[in-house]
Structure 1
Amino acid sequence: MAVADPSEAAQTAMRGIVAAVASFKTPDELLAAARPDVVHIITPPASHAPLAQAALEAGCHIYVEKPFTERVEDAQRILDEARAKGLLVCAGHQLLYEPPTRVLARYLPSIGQVAHVESYFSFRTVRHAPGGRTVLRADHQLLDILPHPVYLLLLVLEQAGNGTIELVSLELSQAGTVHALVRRGGVTGTLVVTLEGRPVESYLRAVGRNGSLFADYVRSTVQRAIGPGSSGIDKLFAPYRQAWQLLTGTTAAMARRFLKRQQSYPGLAELFSAFYESIRSGAPSPLSPESLLETVRICEKVAQALREREAKALAAAAPRPVESRGVIVTGGTGFLGKEIVRSLLARNRPVRVVARREPSPWERIAGAEYVVADVATGAAVHLFKGADTVIHAAAETAGGWDEHRRNSLNATEQMVRGAAAAGITRFIHISSLAVLAQGTGDPIGDNHPLEPDSKGSGPYVWGKLESERLAVLVGNELGLSVKVVRPGALVDYRDFDPPGRLGKRLGNIFVAVGSPSDRLGVVDVGFSGRFLAWTVDHWDDVPSPLNLLDPVSPTKRELLDHLRKANPDLTVIWLPRFVLIPLSWTAMLAQKLLRPGKPPINIAKVFSVLPYDTSLIAKLAPHIPPQ
């Protein structure tokens, strides 16, 4: 076994899995020295075609992660080369080997002539990557996941119809939903892939003249409704029969996953086994060339449509030049950052958003300039051109201590130093109420002491607290006027999502922690954005530090009322603090035993409710323009 990766860290990690693995810097070195029989290409999509070509020229069978290639011409060239050399090609279409697909394929003849096929995939975009790596922007994540629902749709169409595959129509929404009609012969299927739809689902549905099949890839089940189902008895018993299939199927699927302790993607090991067996036996590849080509063809057309929409969106969202009076906003693609950007533009302030990844077209705000930069490694002077103020709202929100050190502490220091080097003298650092020490019962004011045990509440609070200290320290050293603003838990009353300190949602059950009369230190995200934009133009009127809260803190009961409006079926269970505290002690003891040397997280402290003095923000709030 051998691996090629330019990253020493990646090579070391692989040796931790397979000690005897040979490591190379480049694929060419690997192909020349190791002379492998099979090459797995799991690199970024743009590199798939040239690497596949090189592996075939070296006489290797190839497995290529999805998307197989970005262009159908490249896919055709690879398949032609493999055919000419007698080599096999496989792609990362592992859902074909998941149990739901196999069951659906087995029962497909039972439903008769197929009349309709639907392939649906909804998912949440990944916003954080291990090790602080930059994640793909949302539309690129959509393209990365797109092959899965496409090849599932094609699987049924290829068995149900004759002729060539035809993409009949294609529509893209403003915020990342793909609708497509795909036809083969007399059978038309629908393809829907969405970043917006909830809950997260992945299913394949086939409807025939004698029933229907529903393959659920989230629960790993198949519900069968075979037969015409037109009689009264059928209509009466069909829901119970399908409910029983769902119950038993889900239970069996969970048991299989638990007992096997499968760490890879379901179906992936089975796909590898089938591919290797084909190589050993001289049989055809488990994936047909036609399926690979048509999957790439449809994905390429979706990608082209996305590029065309992006060009139109960029033209419509042309940025206003940041030549003077500009404001630099880090974290400007986030929940709070977007509101800050909108509010600054409404005040006729030019805005430059500095982000670690390029936002998708639908994530951009018209009039704002977007610059991609990883400020944790340095903030170049050109980022600050034409600006007089920085609002540093970026921070790590996931991961461990290393990620928070890099993306909270390091990024903060680099931004302060970069601003000073560019001659900027005004810097707003967005911190968090979580950095404040536990109170003694009296309302906590804006100058309340910081938490002395910065690591006691986990990496996020530690990152926020230490980056606040760093911003003030380095700012004073370099002569910057640094204002620290500590928002409470951010909520959007227009589209309410409960703050973490309210409790935890488990399906349709919400476990609320504490008492219904407890008041939480929250702040409306829209008000926060308008307040921070107002601060830029009224610098001397805003003290530092400032706890940014709703002028009147709502009770937990009031917040749950907002949640129930959008979730009428929600069941609320209260977990009193006298129950939480011993649970927290037990959890801390377990952490010390299981993770010696690492600071334990005090769950009771995380969910603690502190009274806040909102008198100062109440005086300033009337000056903030309404929505």
Structure 2
Amino acid sequence: MRFAAYERLLTTTRGRGEISMDIAIVGCGEISTKHIQFALDYPEANIVGLVDTERERARRRAAQFQIPDCSYPHLSELFLFRKPKVVHVLTPPATHLPLVLECIEAGCHVLVEKPAGLNYQQVKTMFKVAEERGVFLCVDHNHCFDPCMIEVKKMVERGDIGEIIYVESYYGWNPDIAAVRSYPKVNQIPWIHTLPGGVLHDLITHPLALLLEYTGLPREIKAISRSLGTLPQGQPDELRILCDGSKAMGILAISFNAKPFLHYLNLFGSEMFVQVNFNTMTYYTQPSRKLPKAIGKPLLNLEQSWQLASRTLINTARFLTGRLKSYHGMRTLIHRFYQSIQRGEEPPVSQEQCLQVARVIDQVWEQIGSRKMSFSPIFPRQSPAPSSCYSYLSKSQRPSRVLITGASGFLGHHLARRLLREGYLVRALVRKLSPIEKLGDLDLEIFFGDVRDEDSLRAAIQGVEMIVHAAADTSGGRLEDALETTVNGSRNVLCLAQQEGVRKLVYISSLSVYDYSRLPAGHLIREEDALEANPKKRGVYTCSKLEAEKMVQRFIRENNLPVVILRPGTIYGPGGAVLTPMIGYALSKNFILAIGRKGFKLPLVYIDNLLDAIVLSLENDKAAGKIYNIVDDEPVSKHVYIQRYLCKRGKGGHVVYLPYALVYSLTFGLELLSKIMHKEPFLTRYRLAASCKSFLFDTSKAKQDLGWSSRIPAREGLENTLTWSKNVWAC
């Protein structure tokens, strides 16, 4: 397609060199860093606008790339002062249609991130208006322009592969990233979950564009999906599409579960097989040869090894010399789009390609169905109904309704089962993206919310008599986020519990609040011992848990809400983590790396023993206002735990203990390097010293006041846990 407007443009600029390119970026999220970088790499490009509804984010991007402040909160304001030739639209897909149309009406050419729109009709409308206005519209199908893919495309065009018979496009993706798991605002899910096809909708464009380029227009597609529980509320995390194309048949596969997370394109031709690996930016070919098997098989292995090794060396050299960059395909696409504008040529991704991808995506969602997430409260199938149903019982005889915060976690779902067995009515508070499969088969109420959000928290607390507050930030991320959840969230729980007349609250604290640095190794730690004096040196988790417990203690002194504080040890049991950093790191299935002495005493508490303490705390009125250590009576050494772990694997395993002095020295080097790089070290000597000291913990107070004991001995607890983990491995 060649527009008359561009013929006129070429005529007026002929002889004056290339046309300058004023660029605006709309949406200054993480991907904008690549768009800005590649736009600045183009000789005639000049960034004149950075647009984001969070203007401060646009200003940060400008400062990052040393661009004079040209930030705007809205497109309309940008167009009052600037007239960019090209606009990159990088906002969430739900906003693409109005933003793209606004840019087109202003006479700007547009590069829009994938997916271009929420459906085929939106994408069709964009292209129709662009054509009417005489401007270019291009969608960022960047993997089609990766260097390895460009080389293979040349081979296809030369006929080296022969006739393409079959295509396989595979995309393995790790969903454990902020765009999927984090909350952009309190109690607000990321936009990626709100797309018609959920998380898959944001990813399908990449492998589908590659597939359709070689299968041609689909005559028929068949799509199937499955949920293996990686995404919340049964959203599909496995997708397979069988495509009967006009040129070849093909299969598309997206997996969030298969590991490692591979990304490749296989082309099966009549003369040659080609695999393009987008993870390594390499490809290898396997031509059809008429050789004896005895020669052909070893020759094939040698040839593939040579191809991959040589291309890896070439890529390394290109990367070191700046000729190969991360997201290089995006760079190529952006520059080709700019060139197409200057020369009046068709954009690098045609209208037909973009519409074809959008049309197939619609067909896929029609076949597998759309699974919209719901955050309305879930009530048990055999709901005992409101407390009014027990009006015939005296107040003391009615079952208490207990709210569990953090109910989707390891402790939370075990506690829910236990309280139900004890005859309590249970209400679970879970965050919107939390997995609830383990709660789904229980007769309890599930409320979606966040302890940081007072409205959703109040709804969960209303009508309950008791609360077990187990929610906390355990991610080890930013301190500000941890304090917001663990400290402010706990404050919200306490204040609303007081307002709503809750009778008892059990707060789950941690042994990490103690000042291990000042206590001698082997000391028997009691509840009255000193708390950590330098929590920030100990890390995000300790800092937030200590601040939260101090706040809870102040609340107890200043209010009349009965609160019990439990300081459990490292919780273990079926369904929980089998190896923690305190115990060791599994470098492979049969190789463990541990730090420090073999005889280090692990402060463990078996899950059932902790549940006993929680139930007793709920039921014992004398426990109000008190703090209890909850640790199993029989200390288990690090060496014994690891040996039993390896023995249960049933294979010859190995463990290496790094001497404490060696790790301490390496940590000192890490601190120096981090200081030079102006970054926070992930481990400090202070934190290492605290974690490698062995202590004993006094639980006599819990035994005397609550009647608690470590009912499940360590040998039984370890056997239950490791047998469970062995069965999981076998599956």
In structure 2, the partner of 1:432 is 510
Post-superposition shift, 1:50? Answer: 1.9
In structure 1, the partner of 2:593 is 511
Task: Give the counterpart letter for 1:440 in structure 2.
Answer: P
Contact in 2 for aligned 1:183/1:189 (Cα 8 Å): yes
Contact in 2 for aligned 1:356/1:372 (Cα 8 Å): yes
In structure 2, the partner of 1:384 is 461
Matched, 1:221 2:298: no
Instruction: State which of 213, 217, 220 in structure 2 corresponds to 1:158.
Output: 213
Structure 1 residue runs without a partner (length 5+): none
Matched, 1:6 2:82: no
In structure 1, the partner of 2:130 is 82
The RMSD of aligned alpha carbons is: 4.1
Instruction: State which of 436, 448, 451 in structure 2 corresponds to 1:375.
Output: 451
Contact in 2 for aligned 1:496/1:562 (Cα 8 Å): no
1:376–1:183 Cα change, 3 Å: same
In structure 1, the partner of 2:39 is none
TM-score of the aligned structures, taking structure 1 as reference length: 0.85
SS at match of 1:283: coil
Post-superposition shift, 1:184? Answer: 1.0
Matched, 1:586 2:669: yes
In structure 2, the partner of 1:327 is 402
In structure 1, the partner of 2:522 is 442
Contact in 2 for aligned 1:39/1:55 (Cα 8 Å): yes
Contact in 2 for aligned 1:592/1:600 (Cα 8 Å): no
Instruction: State which of 419, 437, 440 in structure 2 corresponds to 1:365.
Output: 440
In structure 2, the partner of 1:393 is 470
Post-superposition shift, 1:401? Answer: 2.4
After superposition, where does 1:464-475 map in structure 2 within 5 Å? 464-475=545-556
After superposition, where does 1:7-46 map in structure 2 within 5 Å? 7-17=54-64, 18-46=66-94
In structure 1, the partner of 2:566 is 485
Instruction: State which of 117, 125, 133 in structure 1 corresponds to 2:168.
Output: 117
Task: Give the counterpart letter for 1:585 in structure 2.
Answer: F
Contact in 2 for aligned 1:317/1:364 (Cα 8 Å): no
Contact in 2 for aligned 1:446/1:547 (Cα 8 Å): no
| Alpha-carbon distance in structure 2 between the residues aligned to 1:583 and 1:199 | 30
SS at match of 1:332: coil
In structure 2, the partner of 1:500 is 581
Contact in 2 for aligned 1:323/1:385 (Cα 8 Å): no
Deviation per CA, 1:459-482, whole angstroms, max 9, x where unpaired? 222112111211222243222222
1:276–1:308 Cα change, 3 Å: same
Stretch deviating more after TM superposition (472-481 or 574-583): 472-481
Post-superposition shift, 1:565? Answer: 6.2
| Alpha-carbon distance in structure 2 between the residues aligned to 1:255 and 1:535 | 66
Task: Give the counterpart letter for 2:553 in structure 1.
Answer: V
Task: Give the counterpart letter for 1:5 in structure 2.
Answer: D
TM-score of the aligned structures, taking structure 2 as reference length: 0.74
Contact in 1 for aligned 2:222/2:241 (Cα 8 Å): yes
Stretch deviating more after TM superposition (260-269 or 571-580): 260-269
In structure 1, the partner of 2:695 is 611
Contact in 2 for aligned 1:513/1:607 (Cα 8 Å): no
Deviation per CA, 1:365-387, whole angstroms, max 9, x where unpaired? 34554444443354653331121
1:219–1:72 Cα change, 3 Å: same
SS at match of 2:440: coil
In structure 1, the partner of 2:190 is 136
In structure 1, the partner of 2:330 is 268
Task: Give the counterpart letter for 1:2 in structure 2.
Answer: G
1:299–1:153 Cα change, 3 Å: closer
In structure 1, the partner of 2:12 is none
In structure 1, the partner of 2:17 is none
Contact in 2 for aligned 1:131/1:402 (Cα 8 Å): no
| Alpha-carbon distance in structure 2 between the residues aligned to 1:502 and 1:261 | 45
In structure 2, the partner of 1:476 is 557
1:315–1:451 Cα change, 3 Å: closer
1:216–1:350 Cα change, 3 Å: farther
In structure 1, the partner of 2:30 is none
Structure 2 residue runs without a partner (length 5+): 1-47, 230-236, 388-399, 721-731
Instruction: State which of 411, 415, 419 in structure 1 corresponds to 2:493.
Output: 415
Task: Give the counterpart letter for 1:406 in structure 2.
Answer: E
Stretch deviating more after TM superposition (67-76 or 94-103): 94-103
Deviation per CA, 1:557-589, whole angstroms, max 9, x where unpaired? 533653686696986543111211222233344
Q: Tell me the percent identity.
A: 21
1:558–1:291 Cα change, 3 Å: farther
1:298–1:164 Cα change, 3 Å: closer
In structure 2, the partner of 1:547 is 630
1:29–1:431 Cα change, 3 Å: same
Matched, 1:287 2:349: yes
Task: Give the counterpart letter for 2:402 in structure 1.
Answer: V
Post-superposition shift, 1:126? Answer: 2.2
Post-superposition shift, 1:556? Answer: 4.1
Deviation per CA, 1:272-317, whole angstroms, max 9, x where unpaired? 2222222222222222223323333444455563534868x99998
| Alpha-carbon distance in structure 2 between the residues aligned to 1:539 and 1:301 | 60
SS at match of 1:110: coil
In structure 1, the partner of 2:222 is 168
1:3–1:475 Cα change, 3 Å: farther
Contact in 1 for aligned 2:242/2:251 (Cα 8 Å): yes
In structure 1, the partner of 2:370 is 307
In structure 2, the partner of 1:239 is 301
1:547–1:622 Cα change, 3 Å: closer
Matched, 1:197 2:258: yes
1:556–1:188 Cα change, 3 Å: farther
Post-superposition shift, 1:123? Answer: 1.3
Post-superposition shift, 1:489? Answer: 3.8
Instruction: State which of 71, 95, 112 in structure 2 corresponds to 1:47.
Output: 95
Contact in 1 for aligned 2:511/2:629 (Cα 8 Å): no
Matched, 1:187 2:248: yes
1:589–1:566 Cα change, 3 Å: same
